[in-house]
């Protein structure tokens, strides 16, 4: 497994790109969930839109923070 990975890396470029891609998948799922649930909540309670939006942005920022950690590590590594 490791040998194959090493061979692929030397042929096609840095394996860190794979890490960045995986991080993007994770963040995509996370932010998709947050956005979807927020829209559902707003549809149910349109009067609470400002509170929902604030909490949505905070949660999205936290998810994004984790993804960006992974991207930075992938860029350095």
Partner 1 sequence: MASGSILNSKFFNILLICAFFLLAAPFSKAASAEDSTKDPKEKAKEAILEHIGDSHSWPVLGKTTIGLPVILYTDKGLEVFSSKKIEEDGSVYAGANYSYKLEGNKVKVVDASGKVDDATSKKVWDFSITRNVISLWMSAILLLLVFLSVSSAYKKREGKAPKGLQSFIEPLIVFVRDDVAIPNMGYKYARFMPLLLTVFFFILINNLIGIIPFFPGGYNLTGNIAVTGTLAVIILFVVNLNGNKYYWKHIFSPNPWWLFPIMIPVEIVSIFSKPIALMIRLFANMTAGHIVALSLISLIFIFGTLWISPVSVAFVVFMDCIEVLIAFLQAYIFTLLSALFIGMAIMEHH
Provide the terminal-to-terminal Cα distance of the chain, rounded to the nearest Å.
20
Judged by CB under 8 A, does residue 22 bind partner 1? Answer: no
15 DSSP 8-state letter: T
Shortest reach from residue 5's CB to partner 1, in Å = 23
Judged by CB under 8 A, does residue 27 bind partner 1? Answer: no
Measured from the Cβ of residue 26, the count of other Cβ atoms closer than 10 Å reads: 14
By CB under 8 A, name the one of 6, 7, 15, 72 that touches partner 1: 72
Residue 34: closest CA among 72, 63, 76 = 63
Summarize as ranges the residues that interact with partner 1 (CB under 8 A): 50, 54, 57-58, 61-62, 64-65, 68-69, 71-72
């Amino acid at each position: 497994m490791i040998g194959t990975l090493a061979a692929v890396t030397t042929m096609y470029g840095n394996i860190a790109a794979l890490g960045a891609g995986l991080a993007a998948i994770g963040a995509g799922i996370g932010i998709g969930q947050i956005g979807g649930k927020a829209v559902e909540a707003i549809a149910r309670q349109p009067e609470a839109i400002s509170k929902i939006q604030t909490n949505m942005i905070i949660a999205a920022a936290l998810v994004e923070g984790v993804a960006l950690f992974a991207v930075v590590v992938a860029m350095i590594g």
